[in-house]
């Protein structure tokens, strides 16, 4: 008999929070506990590990978020799909022994509340420091993730500093957007913004042109508070990504050669996603004073183009 890798919590959660046709819990791959929300406007699945939105599907549309068929779902392993939460650092840490993108998206979060109506559903999750997190990052903290599912997907990640020292944090919504064909995709909103080219490790001058992808792209645009518009000509839709609490935006696609070497991806996956990430990274660091708080927010709205 094969036991699930995650604790079986669906019956208890369904008794506490479930609502027929609106709110339900199920065991995903390897027993990963998933919250399912549904209303007239959209449906979504959110993993209790990482408070990670894995799917968001507006009514009458294809899924907005992307997940590989080869996605790895094991304790301690990042699940590179949907909207992973990077926190309290983004990308690599100063100590190479620490995990990339922090520990928030591999930690089990607590579900605090679920509200639902005909057109909107909201789930609230929390995570705070414990013995495990303090071995990786020796600070007190409290995180709250509020996810609202409706005509748009709205995410807010709030950080509270209950301690007596200032915290320096970098963070992000590492969002994987599903596209019909990466070569038929255009990203607007970052024109004339300087960027750091992580693939080449150089600063690059701003360009007046929208972004198209024909090779590996890994860029940090800064400073920018602008909304981005993803024109997906392959699927015939337009996705608007608005944000607050962020002055940097990351755009990433590993392209073919790197995708072949990455765990949790199939060789041709690069053709069907683009990461457009709402972040605080590099120079865009957040300094959180004692008893201070901050919030990072993103709103994703998708519409089909007839």
- For residue 79, is it within any domain? yes
Residue 189 is assigned to a structural domain of this protein: yes
SS3 content of the chain, % helix, strand, coil (to 5): 10, 45, 45
Distance of CA 150 to the CA centre of its chain: 17
Q: Would residue 1 count as lying in a domain? A: no
Q: Are 87 and 171 in contact (CB under 8 A)?
A: yes
Q: Which domain holds residue 31?
A: 10-304
What mean pLDDT, rounded, does the chain reach? 93
Question: Does residue 20 form part of some domain?
Answer: yes
Domain for residue 67, yes or no? Answer: yes
Residue 4 lies in a domain: no
Residue 6 has what pLDDT? 56
Domain count, the chain: 1
Residue 3 within a domain: no
Q: Do the domain assignments include residue 150?
A: yes
Q: Nearest CA to 260 among 268, 250, 271, 252?
A: 268
Closest CA to 262 of 54, 32, 70: 70
Residue 14 contacts residue 36 (beta carbons within 8 Å): no
The CATH number for 138's domain is 2.70.98.10
pLDDT one digit per residue (tens) for the chain, 306 residues = 233 455 556 777 888 888 889 999 998 877 788 999 999 999 999 999 999 999 999 999 999 999 999 888 777 777 889 999 999 999 988 888 899 999 999 999 999 999 999 999 999 999 999 999 999 999 999 999 999 999 999 999 999 999 999 999 999 999 999 999 999 999 999 999 999 999 889 999 999 999 999 999 999 999 999 999 999 999 999 999 999 999 999 999 999 999 999 989 999 999 999 999 999 999 999 999 999 999 999 999 999 985
Q: Are 228 and 204 within 8 A, CB to CB?
A: no
Predicted structure pTM score: 0.95
């Amino acid at each position: 008999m094969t036991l699930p890798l995650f604790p079986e919590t669906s019956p208890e959660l369904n008794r506490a929070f479930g609502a027929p046709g609106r709110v339900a819990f199920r065991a995903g791959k390897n027993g990963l506990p998933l919250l399912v929300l549904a209303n007239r406007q959209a449906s979504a699945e959110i993993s209790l590990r990482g408070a990670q939105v894995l799917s968001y599907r507006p009514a009458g549309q294809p899924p907005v978020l992307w997940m590989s068929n080869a996605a790895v779902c094991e304790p301690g392993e990042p699940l590179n799909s949907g909207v992973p939460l990077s926190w309290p650092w983004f990308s690599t840490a100063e100590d190479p022994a620490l995990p990339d993108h922090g520990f928030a998206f591999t930690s089990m979060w607590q579900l605090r509340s679920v509200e639902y109506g005909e057109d909107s559903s909201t789930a609230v999750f929390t995570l705070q420091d414990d013995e495990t997190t303090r071995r990786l990052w020796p600070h007190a903290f409290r995180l709250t993730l509020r996810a609202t599912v409706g005509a748009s997907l709205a995410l807010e990640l709030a950080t509270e500093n209950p301690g007596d020292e200032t915290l320096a944090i970098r963070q992000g919504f590492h969002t994987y957007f599903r596209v019909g064909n990466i070569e038929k995709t255009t990203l607007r909103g970052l024109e004339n913004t300087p960027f750091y080219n992580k693939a080449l490790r150089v600063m690059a001058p701003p360009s007046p042109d929208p972004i198209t992808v024909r090779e590996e792209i890994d860029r940090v645009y800064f400073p920018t508070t602008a909304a981005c518009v993803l024109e997906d000509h392959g699927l015939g839709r337009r996705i608007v990504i608005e944000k607050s609490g962020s002055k940097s935006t990351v755009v990433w696609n590993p392209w073919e050669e790197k995708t072949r070497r990455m765990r949790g991806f199939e060789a041709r996956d690069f053709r069907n996603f683009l990461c457009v990430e709402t972040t605080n990274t590099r120079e865009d660091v957040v300094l959180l004073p004692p008893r201070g708080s901050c919030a990072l927010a993103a709103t994703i709205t998708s519409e089909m183009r007839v």
